[in-house]
Amino acid sequence: MSPHPSLVHARGLTKRYPNGFTAVDGVDFDVRPGKAFGFLGPNGAGKTSTMRMIACSSPVTEGELSVIGMDPRTQAREIKARLGVVPQIDNLDTELTVRENLEMYARYFDIPGDVARRRTDELLEFVQLDERARDQVEPLSGGMKRRLTIARALINEPDLVILDEPTTGLDPQARHLLWERLYQLKRRGATLIITTHYMDEAEQLCDHLVVMDKAHIVAEGSPRQLIDEHSTREVLELRFPDGVRENLDGRLDGLADRIEELPDRLLLYTADGEHTLDQVKQRDIPIESALVRRSSLEDVFLRLTGRSLVE
């Protein structure tokens, strides 16, 4: 077959570990050039195992996988030369300075010294670390380390950048700065693959998403499509005073398309949240608090799996 128009093409992709655990069970997906492709799912859904197979750092057990038109089984080295990888846990070289981290990494790709120095300058500026170029890595904040890791992943001008949970563990300000940089990267035409268990991250960054749960893909589409398909436009969140919730006796029946019960509140899925709230009040149901919001990917996930993303 001629090379696929997609950068990553997977059919029936499966990862089974020697202990018998199946982390990824026959998934199909295609990553198109110039797009940000997201794997959304809770911890243990199989996102990282999928990423590791794409990055050629974990062998494919079964199924078909091509990365940049090449086979990870036989062309791992050629594929890696054209990938940028941002791992879940930082693996910067703490014995080298910020600058040396990039220049040395460039040498691993066989990039000549002068080119490496020029790209290092550009990338440190891009991730706003040029002022820290001569510093050691260890005193950098978590957000700075992540940005340096991203700069490092770009040193070989990759065709595809793989980011495994890029903002896990960062404070909100650092996350936003990182998102902004990744958004810039996208605007330059880079293809990104991102795993995350944060729905806001997926909504912010991803053009196309697959939702993973228990080694399977349970839904696929753009964030908007997923919400439209699997949820209502709005959600009414209700909290009740003690004793009320146990004695509702079906008094909420017919008010919403679907009601999801969470330990601390009820979610009423409906096209018009305010209208539903009025109806609840008309029925004289005592409420402690009410919140009307747009449906999010969190709701999609809850719908598809019956569980929350972040538990």
In the complex, the residues that contact another protein under the rule CB under 8 A are 17-18, 55, 57-59, 77-78, 80-81, 83, 85, 87, 89-96, 100, 104-105, 107-110, 152, 156
State which residue, 110 or 311, has the beta carbon closest to another protein. Answer: 110
CB of residue 19 to another protein, shortest distance in Å: 10
State which residue, 12 or 113, has the beta carbon closest to another protein. Answer: 113
Pairing of strands 258-261, 266-270: antiparallel
* DSSP one-letter code for 253: T
Q: What angle do CA 86, 87, 93 make, to 5 degrees?
A: 85
CB of residue 76 to another protein, shortest distance in Å: 8
Sequence-distant (≥ 6) Cβ neighbours of residue 82 within 8 angstroms:
68, 156, 158, 159, 160
CB of residue 210 to another protein, shortest distance in Å: 23
State which residue, 94 or 289, has the beta carbon closest to another protein. Answer: 94
How many whole angstroms separate alpha carbon 182 and alpha carbon 178?
6
CB of residue 73 to another protein, shortest distance in Å: 12
Task: Return the SS3 of 187.
Answer: helix
How many whole angstroms separate alpha carbon 295 and alpha carbon 88?
28
Residue 272 has, within 13 A of its CA and on its CB side, a CA count of 5
CB of residue 128 to another protein, shortest distance in Å: 22
State which residue, 31 or 55, has the beta carbon closest to another protein. Answer: 55
CB 181 within 8 A of CB 12: no
CB of residue 61 to another protein, shortest distance in Å: 11
Phi, psi of 60 (to 5 degrees): -70, 130
State which residue, 38 or 72, has the beta carbon closest to another protein. Answer: 72
Closest CA to 72 of 26, 1, 13: 13
State which residue, 110 or 249, has the beta carbon closest to another protein. Answer: 110
